[in-house]
Structure 1
Amino acid sequence: MNVDLTGKTALITGATGQLGRVMARTLGECGANIIIHYHGNEGKANELKQEIESLGRRSMIVRADITQFDEIMSMKDRVLEQFDAVDIVIANAVIQYEWKSVLEQPIEDYSSQVDSCVMQSVFLAKTFVPSMIERKAGRIIGINSECSMQNAPGQSAYVAGKRGMDGVYRVLAKEIGEHQITVNQIAPGWTISENDRLNNTEVSEGYSQTVPLRRRGSDQEIANVVAFIASDLASFITGAYIPVSGGNVMPAI
């Protein structure tokens, strides 16, 4: 049994980021054509495009501010000039900021998290779901976080955005499920990335002691779950919030 995405086209927002680039490579290795969204890192976008094309897949790069509806709509128009349709939409981009306590966190950081988590999800759905409904097929995948369940000090703006995103995805799953479109969220733990490998910061004993598997997960382990959820193997999974955190958070029934 293989994860086969041959003939599918996937859009990954924030594809040049630490997790996004591994998702792009992994879905490409599974057979998908990849639309690489970026906001500021054009160099990495072009590098990633070459990697995907070296796998024998089609790829294109698109720049857009994912907090602006008109830019996402424009992105779709550019994509449809080269691809017939977008089968898989992965909302991975998020605005980075310095975490502080509720009393110290600047107000604009709350707005940025709502814009990049909640509104991005809404804009992507409004832009790409109608054609999925016509085709009676599609995958919407949001990258959430274990922080949504942790609610630890300093996480308030991030948690506010991600928990709002969770609500949108759960409702959307119920609204469009009849069209055989699945809507799911992947919630990584504190993940080892390329930056960690470059800086030798993969090990964090304090964090790992809180994780039942006693280690941090890798970016590849996150991408593997994304690829599975994007595939036909996960055709009867929708409305799920799936932690990939080594058991550090466990949704209850």
Structure 2
Amino acid sequence: MKLDLTGKTALVTGATGQLGRVIARTLATCGANLALHYINNEMKAKELKDEIEAMGRQAVIVQGDMTKQDTAFRIRDAIQNTLGNVDIVVANAVIQYEWTSVLEQAPEDYLSQFESCVMQSVYLAKAFIPQMQEMRSGRFIGINTECAMQNFAHQSAYTAGKRGMDGVYRVLAKEVGEYQITVNQVAPGWTISERDRTSEPGHDEAYTRSVPLRRRGEDQEIANVVAFLASDLSSFITGAYIPVSGGNVMPAI
């Protein structure tokens, strides 16, 4: 049994981010060609493109604000003209902001999270799902978070955006399942990324004590689950919210 994405084309939004770049590399390692989305970091996008092409894969970079519908359609057309139809969409991009209490959080922060979590996914669906329906296959994967289950203080805008995103994915899974398109979410915990490996260790003892596996997850462990959901090995899984958090959150029946 092999996780093989040879001949598939994947779009990763926010591909230059800490987690996005590992997801992109992992999908390429499994054989996929990549469309690498970025909004500001063109240098990192070009570096990642070169890295993936050195693996023998095809790669293109696409730029734009994923909270705008015209961006999703423009990116779709650019990818189709270079790599062909997209088989795998990974909605990973998210707007960063400073967390504080509900009473102190700026209203625009709630709007930004709604736009980058909910509306990005809606626009990506409108742009790419029709292609997948024609092909009668496809993988639509969103990066959610354990925070959507935790509802801790100071997380309200992020949690609200991600919980709204969860609703979109569950409904979409039911709407497109007959076309053999799967729609799933990966929900990381507090993840160790390249930034953590090149800086002073953080104070995470309290967090790790709460995790049954007694450690933080690695970015590669998140990317592995994305690759599994992108593959034929996950062909009968849809509508799932899958925590990759060492057991820190556990959806209940």
Identify the range of structure 1 (147-156 vs 199-208) with the bigger mean alpha-carbon deviation: 199-208
CA RMSD of aligned residues (A): 0.7
Give distance in 1, aligned partners of 2:142 and 2:42: 23
Give distance in 2, aligned partners of 1:80 and 1:176: 21
* Residue number in structure 1 paired with 2:6: 6
* Residue number in structure 2 paired with 1:188: 188
| AA at the equivalent of 2:20 | G
Give distance in 2, aligned partners of 1:151 and 1:2: 37
* Residue number in structure 2 paired with 1:93: 93
Aligned in 2, Cα 1:202/1:231: closer, same or farther, shift over 3 Å?
farther
* Residue number in structure 2 paired with 1:52: 52
- 1:224-243 correspondence to structure 2 within 5 Å: 224-243=224-243
- 1:1-253 correspondence to structure 2 within 5 Å: 1-201=1-201, 204-253=204-253
Give distance in 2, aligned partners of 1:207 and 1:12: 29
| Displacement over 4 Å in runs of 4+ | none
Give distance in 1, aligned partners of 2:105 and 2:165: 20
Give distance in 1, aligned partners of 2:166 and 2:79: 27
Give distance in 1, aligned partners of 2:105 and 2:163: 18
Q: Residue by residue, what CA displacement relative to the aligned partner does 1:90-149 show, whole Å, maximum 9, x if unpaired? A: 000000000000000000000000000000000000000001000000000000000000
| AA at the equivalent of 1:81 | N
Q: Residue by residue, what CA displacement relative to the aligned partner does 1:179-209 show, whole Å, maximum 9, x if unpaired? A: 0000000000000000000003266111100
Give distance in 1, aligned partners of 2:73 and 2:91: 15
Query: What SS does the corresponding residue of 1:75 show, helix, strand or coil?
Result: helix
Unpaired segments ≥5 residues, structure 1: none
Q: Residue by residue, what CA displacement relative to the aligned partner does 1:195-244 show, whole Å, maximum 9, x if unpaired? A: 00000326611110000000000000000000000000000000000000
Q: TM-score, normalised by structure 2?
A: 0.99
Identify the range of structure 1 (198-207 vs 236-245) with the bigger mean alpha-carbon deviation: 198-207
| AA at the equivalent of 2:34 | I
Number of residue equivalences: 253
Give distance in 2, aligned partners of 1:43 and 1:23: 18
Query: What SS does the corresponding residue of 1:10 show, helix, strand or coil?
Result: strand
Give distance in 2, aligned partners of 1:200 and 1:106: 31
**Deviation at 1:171?**
0.1
Q: Is the 8 A contact 1:203 1:216 kept in 2?
A: no
**Deviation at 1:75?**
1.0
Query: What SS does the corresponding residue of 1:209 show, helix, strand or coil?
Result: helix
Aligned in 2, Cα 1:203/1:154: closer, same or farther, shift over 3 Å?
closer
Give distance in 2, aligned partners of 1:69 and 1:77: 13
**Deviation at 1:72?**
1.2
Aligned in 2, Cα 1:111/1:61: closer, same or farther, shift over 3 Å?
same
What is the percent sequence identity of the aligned residues? 69
